Amino acid sequence: MNRKGGVKVRRVRADNASAMTGSGTNAYLLGEAQVAVIDPGPDDPAQLDALLASLGPGEEIAAILITHAHLDHSAIAPRLSQITGAPVHAFGPADAGRSPAMQALAKAGLSSGGEGIDHGFAPDVLLPDGAWISLGDLAIEAIHTPGHMGGHLCFGVDGLLFSGDHAMGWATSLVSPPDGDMGAYMRSLARLSARSWHQMLPGHGETVADPAARLAELAGHRRKREAEVLAELARAPGTAAELARRIYTDTPAALLPAATRNVLAHLIDLAENNRAIPQGTITSSTRFAPV
């Protein structure tokens, strides 16, 4: 339990540590009496018990807020909603918010890379960009930040940024088309960076004390990776997997599939901006060439 500024915040970390989730997925309980839960977590009875045990005497969960429909963030939401009566708020179902380009790629057959999408996710309340949720003295802003997923939301509360998987301190985010969109990711980073935040509380890892510096670091990392992709393309055409092996030379083999999806996202963004040429219909195994 912690009080960050004027907001009471409690973190419940799911016991699902992995290479992709770090020390586990963070659920946050905000406020007092009428409590909001951000990203309750995976469908695990122990996680459900931990969330309910975090409530004080006379407190109740009044709203469940989902940053995005990945199973480690949203899967337990229906069960928690059934028990508490709290509605589930989100931008939309798992495929909501995709750009027309990503919709076209999905229709043409580009599939996700197996990132644990919660395909059955169905929120009770749709939150458009800029929507506000009010619970007592608590006012929560929904900020649409597509990139990691098309329907990804961040939540702003009294200078605190609850950043889901869009921005984390322990690692960079996976951007895996057609759910992930590198161009949208960079625009969302820029949008968050244009505002002043006291702290950033991500979906994985620890609280980030200097959000501005971390957001700038993440944007710089992506620009550097884009430059590496372009340099490798100039050296020789390749598929996302081939380029990933040439770029991520120190990455463990278990993480290369995720790296490959990130490279694919860069390649698609470069192709959309006429900076790379796909040789045929874009799939996960399409070969790209330099312009």
Mean residue pLDDT of the chain comes to 95
Q: Which residues pair with 140 in a beta bridge?
A: 133
Q: What is the pLDDT of residues 20-64, one digit of tens each?
A: 899 999 999 999 999 999 999 999 999 999 999 999 999 999 999
Q: Which CATH class is domain 222-290?
A: mainly alpha
Q: What is the pLDDT of residues 141-193, one digit of tens each?
A: 999 999 999 999 999 999 999 999 999 999 999 999 999 999 999 999 999 99
pLDDT of residue 25: 98
Q: Is 223 helix (H, G, I), strand (E, B) or coil?
A: helix
Query: Domain segments of the chain: what residues?
Result: 2-211, 222-290
Kindly report the CATH number that applies to the domain delimited by 2-211.
3.60.15.10
Cis check: omega of the bond before 178, within 30 degrees of 0: yes
For 214, residues 6+ apart whose C-beta sits below 8 A from its C-beta are 167, 169, 200, 208
**181 touches 99 (CB < 8 A):** yes
